[in-house]
Amino acid sequence: MYLCDIHSHTKISPDSKAELLDNARAAINAGLREFCVSDHHDLLDYDGFPAAPFDWPAALKQYRTAKEALGDKLILRLGLELGSAPYDPHAAREALAQGGEELDFVLGSLHNWIGFHNNDLLDMTSYRGDGPLARRAMESTLDHTWTLVTQMPDCYDSLAHISYPLRYIRNDGIYLSMADYEERVRAIFTEIARTDHAMEVNVWTGRDLDSWPPLLAWFRECGGRLITVGADAHRPEDVAKGIPEALDMLKAAGFDHVTTYERRKPVLHKL
């Protein structure tokens, strides 16, 4: 089994204090062959304001230093979790261009409710007990995901955590499921497959394993072939948490390979 975790954060992200080298050492201890740092660059910040440019000089320096220190003990990749690209396509493309040749991997994500306060969907105080509002949050995510996959395929390699708002909506006691949006999700998956992009199985440090089996089945039925896996760790102790389970789920769903990225090209590894 090819153990890889290609979604993780360091102190370059606003919500992490981790050092890349500590994360990478944790990856080695967890038996990973390949690990990717994918710090946040959300075009909208947590409160919904346009964000400052990504700190590429710091990210590149950290990556190069860690790579040098690790030698051949671990395949370390440089990624970016690009959030809310449809909010400002020009800024999104600019940020990716600045990553230069060393950029291996781009996760396309949507954390914000674009067009409605623009704030992070994690802010569930605004949904408390309000089912219709929670449904609108989910629909907004699907609308903007559709824009990303149909109009901005150059702005992502793998679609990150498609069920992101449900994490928080569930916490708030409102039961919504991806099954309520099956037709729209299948349309998104069909487009991902048609354009040879990947879907991410994001296990959220082992906290979200149950969402994925039905989504993997739909993705496969829609012609999807490329799957990336990520624990989404924001601290060393969470690196690779849930990854072996994710790879087992891929196998059970009939996939033969897990995908990683090098210089934004997919590399398939037999499970």
Residues at the site binding Zn ion, with contacts judged by CB under 5 A: 81, 109, 232
Minimum CB–partner distance for residue 182 and Zn ion (Å): 23
Minimum CB–partner distance for residue 13 and Zn ion (Å): 8
Complex with Zn ion: residue 191 or 232, whichever CB lies closer: 232
Minimum CB–partner distance for residue 161 and Zn ion (Å): 6
Complex with Zn ion: residue 131 or 206, whichever CB lies closer: 206
Burial of 73 (0-12, 13-18, 19+ CB in 10 A): exposed
Complex with Zn ion: residue 110 or 193, whichever CB lies closer: 110
Complex with Zn ion: residue 137 or 270, whichever CB lies closer: 137
Minimum CB–partner distance for residue 89 and Zn ion (Å): 19
Complex with Zn ion: residue 205 or 259, whichever CB lies closer: 205
Sheet of 75-83, strands arranged across? 4-5, 34-42, 75-83, 105-109, 158-159, 198-202, 226-230
Angle 64-69-73 (CA atoms, 0-180°, nearest 5)? 110
DSSP the chain: ---EE--B--TTSTT----HHHHHHHHHHTT-SEEEEEEEEESB-TTSPBPPPP-HHHHHHHHHHHHHHHGGGSEEEEEEEEE-GGG-HHHHHHHHHHHGGG--EEEEE--B-TTTTT-BTT-GGGGTT-HHHHHHHHHHHHHHHHHHHHH-GGG-SEE--TTHHHHHHHHTT----GGGGHHHHHHHHHHHHHTT-EEEEE-TTTT--TTHHHHHHHHHHTT--EEEEE--BSSGGGTTTTHHHHHHHHHHTT--EEEEEETTEEEEEE-
Minimum CB–partner distance for residue 223 and Zn ion (Å): 25
Complex with Zn ion: residue 220 or 235, whichever CB lies closer: 235
User: Residue holding tokens 């990854």?
Assistant: 243
Complex with Zn ion: residue 15 or 256, whichever CB lies closer: 15
